[in-house]
Amino acid sequence: MTVRASTSLRSLDAVAVAAGGLMAGQAMLWSRVIGSANGNRPETFAHALSVVLAGLAAGLLAGTPLRERIGMGALRFGALLVALSGALFYLAMPTGASVMLYAAAPGRAVFFAAAAFTAGAMGALVPALSVTTAERVDSRPIAIARVTAALLLGAAAGVLVTGLLLLDVESLEYTILIVSLAALGLAQALWLVAPERHRRAGVTIFALAALGALVGHERLFHGFLERVHFGPGARETRYAVVVQGRAGIVGVTPDARVYGDGLYRGAYTLDADANPTLVGRAYLVPALHRATRRILQIGLGSGAWTRALADVRTVDSLTVVEGNPGYLEALWRHPEIASVLDDPRVRLHLDDPRRWLARHPQREFDVIVANTEWHWSAGATHALSAEFLRLLKGHLADDGVAYFNGTGSLDALYTAAGVWRHVVRASNYIAASDAPFDQGRDERRAAVLAAAGPDGAPRIRGARATQTADAILDQLSGDLAPALRRANDLWNITDDNMASEFKATGAGAWWRALPGRVWRPDRAWPTVLF
């Protein structure tokens, strides 16, 4: 390859790398915001990516005709596009969030449309870069490959910087600001190196735009997370505490409810009397397994369950595996629950549950408690599939009990019945074991009432203690396994079919419901109107 102007060529490479990085950073942030705005549904990431790619493709096609029409030099045209992309990216985020406050679907539509347009503006830059590079390289394919490779390598770096660094040290809102300012910075640089006139004027405008973003940022993004997470519900629900990191966003409301990326994850309460269906279900563990000594808890959440499990008197080891350190940070603000982490019986591991289980094949437990994902949300298969349940079974003693949150999924119950001999249900939790759940009512009530805090005082006490224990026990069903095995209309969730995400209530649902939606003779207009 002959290089005629090596410095310029390197500069162009740098521009392509920077543009690729910005593109990837924007795409990553779009997918996070759209994912949260859509309740972390499994199809959202792919939809967001598709919209970004469609915008990029449109930009690639429109770039050259647009530049020819405007009659602008490649670099100056590029500067305008990058600035436009950055400005649109920055302004569309709070705009979409504000629309979500009134109606969630149009708000999401704003996000999707803006994602396409920001990617389109960046895409339109590529042909301009390509033709400028080709002027300096004697081989057309090499020039295209050089620009494309620089863009893609820049995108890889952008993903790493945004995903591993920026989102870890900064909040989502400030990461959006940083990426937008970086776009304005690149636009300034391109404007400066372009041979046309009005350099100072352009640089001044970009600098003022950056200053405006910096000054108005707090006001513009006030309540952004709540709007994205709760939509119209953000009028009633505010976060009192927010912990952000690369693993996700943990928000705590003033009434002590904890949310992960906008989805309910638990509450900072140990009061089983007030609400037996929340932490009350944790006190069911000794009623499901006698003399429980070793417990594995997957998913820390609010930590209330960890406290309740440690309150089971027979327990001498409680291992907790959590993937998002944000929950731990949020927990420190609730000392009455966080004190459980000082308990010598409790060990916390920050790791992916499957990976932790695979790395510790020798560890065996009497009870495994898993409270991870909503069954319809992205990645739920990871915690509900038959393969994962078999992995849990491999870490259980012969009479061990798996007690996990199926979030009301009948498919999860059916899948559990395929792995264990006995399955019972406690509200939306599923308890499964190869040993029968044969404790009597009195034995169970005594076990529930035996839970005691660090000071030795019973957790469920007072005049209503028996009624509270009974309310907790009332959630427990009989053995459902025989009936479930006879069912022929439920899915066995596997890693391959991802049934809870894509078949039952997930993204593919509309497809199966299509005939009924498309043809409704009762709505034929001659019948209705005349």
Partner 1 sequence: MPLDTAPASPHADRLLVVTGAVCGACVALSGLASATGPEGTSWLMVLIQATVAAQGGAALLWLVRALLRWLVGRVSGSHAVRDAYMRDDTATYTVFLLVLSTAIGVQLVAPVIWLLLALFIAAQGWVLRRARRRRTRTETERQRGPALVLLFVSGVAVMLYSITWQRLLARQFGASADQSTLFIAALLAGLGLGMLAGARVARWRPGRVGVVFVVLQLGAALWGVASVALIPVLGAAVAGAATAATTAAVIAVTTVPMLLMGAALMALVAALPRPARTLDRSDGWFWGAAISGAAVAGVLTVDVLFAFSGIRGTVFGAAALCLVTAIGATILFARRRPADVAVGA
Q: Alpha carbon of 494 to those of 26, 185, 405, 422: distances in Å?
A: 33, 48, 17, 19
- Pairing, β 257-260 against β 263-267: antiparallel
Site for partner 1 in 326-385 (CB under 8 A): 351-352, 354-355, 358-359, 361, 379, 382
Judged by CB under 8 A, the residue of 8, 98, 339, 497 near partner 1 is 497
Which H or E run contains 250? Answer: strand 248-252
Least distance to partner 1, CB of residue 271, Å? 33
Site for partner 1 in 228-247 (CB under 8 A): 246-247
- Pick from 402, 415, 417: which is nearest to 504 by CA? 415
Site for partner 1 in 162-181 (CB under 8 A): 163-164
Judged by CB under 8 A, the residue of 107, 248, 262, 286 near partner 1 is 248
Residue 21's Cβ-count burial label (10 Å; 0-12, 13-18, 19+) is buried
Judged by CB under 8 A, the residue of 195, 342, 440, 529 near partner 1 is 529
CA–CA separation, 426 and 277 (whole Å): 9
Judged by CB under 8 A, the residue of 25, 42, 266, 276 near partner 1 is 42
Size of the site for partner 1 (CB under 8 A): 91
* Residue 137 β-bridge partners: 3
| Contact pattern for partner 1 over residues 410 through 429, marking x by CB under 8 A | --------------------
Judged by CB under 8 A, the residue of 13, 15, 40, 63 near partner 1 is 63
Least distance to partner 1, CB of residue 257, Å? 23
Question: Nearer to partner 1 by C-beta: 33 or 426?
Answer: 33
One-letter identity of residue 94: P
CA–CA separation, 508 and 43 (whole Å): 9
Judged by CB under 8 A, the residue of 70, 106, 139, 443 near partner 1 is 139
Question: Nearer to partner 1 by C-beta: 300 or 340?
Answer: 300
- Pick from 363, 492, 367: which is nearest to 437 by CA? 367
Judged by CB under 8 A, the residue of 75, 100, 126, 368 near partner 1 is 126
Provide the greatest CA pair distance for the chain.
90
Judged by CB under 8 A, the residue of 8, 39, 54, 364 near partner 1 is 54
Site for partner 1 in 250-269 (CB under 8 A): none
Judged by CB under 8 A, the residue of 70, 145, 201, 274 near partner 1 is 145
Q: Is 391 in the site for partner 1 (CB under 8 A)?
A: no
- CB burial of 74-105 (b: ≥16 within 10 Å; e: otherwise) equals bbbbbbbbbbbbbbbbbebbbbbbebbbeebe
Q: Which residue has the tokens 């409270």?
A: 371
